[in-house]
Amino acid sequence: MELLAERGDFPLTESWSYLNAANVALIPMCAATVITDWQTDLALNGSNNFDDQAEDTAFDGLRIQAARLFNCRPEDIAGGSSCSELLSSIAWAVMPKKHENVVSTDIVFPGTIYPWSRVSHHTGSEIRLARGHNGYTSIDKVIGAIDKNTAVVSISHAEYTGGQLYDLAALAEVTHAHGALLVVDATQSAGAIPIDAPACGADVIISGSYKWLCGPFGAALMYLAPHLQGNLEPGLVGFRSHKNIWDLSPDRLEYPDTAKRFESSTMAFGCIKGLEKSIEYLVDIGIERIYEHNMKLADRLVEGLNRLDIEIVSPPDRAERTSIVTCRVDGWNPMEVVQELKKRKIVAQKRQEFVRFSPHLYNSEADVDRAIAELRSLLNG
């Protein structure tokens, strides 16, 4: 199997089997260097280098790389500090009314729905969560919850527990037929699953940086469909919300007619530049290639776990899967399994009563084989 990444780009992979991208992915050294260099330059030179113009254009490089990632225009991209921040700004911007509802699932990552819950405390809108089980909700249940009063379908493209993947185009079709917006949290998919933002029909796609995009904490990005760029008033605003950030007129706020209107404040700019570099790194390799690579590793994990008779709760159907492979190790406390694996330099994660493996581009078949072999020796005592 071809190695997609140079070992030196991810030094930890020389000695550890790091199967934990769904929690925190490794950052390629080229991106880590961009972040520390930016911070060091600020310490040494202050605004001599990071001047007004540099501050104004700080997100432009991210826009270019994220446009390659999502097959959209740079103007369709906004940067921010976290998925929760950008989603909160969207939730307050849309602000579903009292008689309206927001549809999601009851296995969704809490951060994907809490911003809508907060708005619903204010307006009295209804939050409708389609029932799931073992980290899985059938898309039919989500679609079944949508009705004429639905204002928003807010979904995690890939569910964080078992990696279930939703068909965005299918959801967009039904959502739009009801006059609602499809708002997608792609934190568990962007960087690992090809996403064509305009083609899939989503109105908003938001992703954090530190998982499959292999970026740092403190950065996030958002795709905003063109039809929302001229009329959606951001829920969070600050001096960068003005279309000319150096206009500095406290008596007027004119938003840009692009996704940029959702950028509101200064932030850890070095982190945005690190995210820009990570996305460039991934897109240069090719998201389609990364997807195929990761799925081969996931298939190998599934085969290995099946041989050990360990119950897998991630969906079996390829169209509904990501490279997240989640299992229940009968008779074992999942935390104990994760800790024992860590002693053997294998990193997985406990989520609810499960053990979750999440291989990414820097992993190889050897990492999967080691994980399976160590699990076998653990179970055999």
Ligand X SMILES: Cc1ncc(COP(=O)(O)O)c(C=O)c1O
Q: Which residues sit at the interface with ligand X, rule CB under 6 A? A: 82-84, 109, 111-112, 156, 160, 185, 187-188, 208, 220
Complex with ligand X: residue 116 or 160, whichever CB lies closer: 160
Complex with ligand X: residue 187 or 364, whichever CB lies closer: 187
Give dist(CA 149, CA 132) in Å, integer.
22
Contact 154, 103 (CB under 8 A): yes
The least distance separating ligand X from the CB of residue 165, rounded to whole angstroms, comes to: 12
Buried b (16+ CB within 10 A) or exposed e, 82-110: bbbbbbbbbbbbbbbeeebbbbbbebbbe
Q: Is 134 left (phi over 0), alpha (psi -120 to 50) or beta?
A: left
The least distance separating ligand X from the CB of residue 319, rounded to whole angstroms, comes to: 19
Give dist(CA 13, CA 26) in Å, integer.
9
Tokens at residue 32, please?
């880590």
The least distance separating ligand X from the CB of residue 86, rounded to whole angstroms, comes to: 8
The least distance separating ligand X from the CB of residue 309, rounded to whole angstroms, comes to: 29
The least distance separating ligand X from the CB of residue 2, rounded to whole angstroms, comes to: 28
Complex with ligand X: residue 3 or 129, whichever CB lies closer: 129
The least distance separating ligand X from the CB of residue 286, rounded to whole angstroms, comes to: 24
Q: How far is CA 140 from CA 17, 312, 332, in A?
A: 37, 22, 33
Complex with ligand X: residue 220 or 298, whichever CB lies closer: 220
Polymer length in residues for the chain: 381
Strand partners of residue 155 = 184
SS3 of the chain: helix, strand, coil, percent, to 5? 45, 15, 40
Complex with ligand X: residue 185 or 263, whichever CB lies closer: 185
AA identity, residue 55:
E
Complex with ligand X: residue 219 or 375, whichever CB lies closer: 219
Residue that has been written with the tokens 């229940």 in this structure: 328
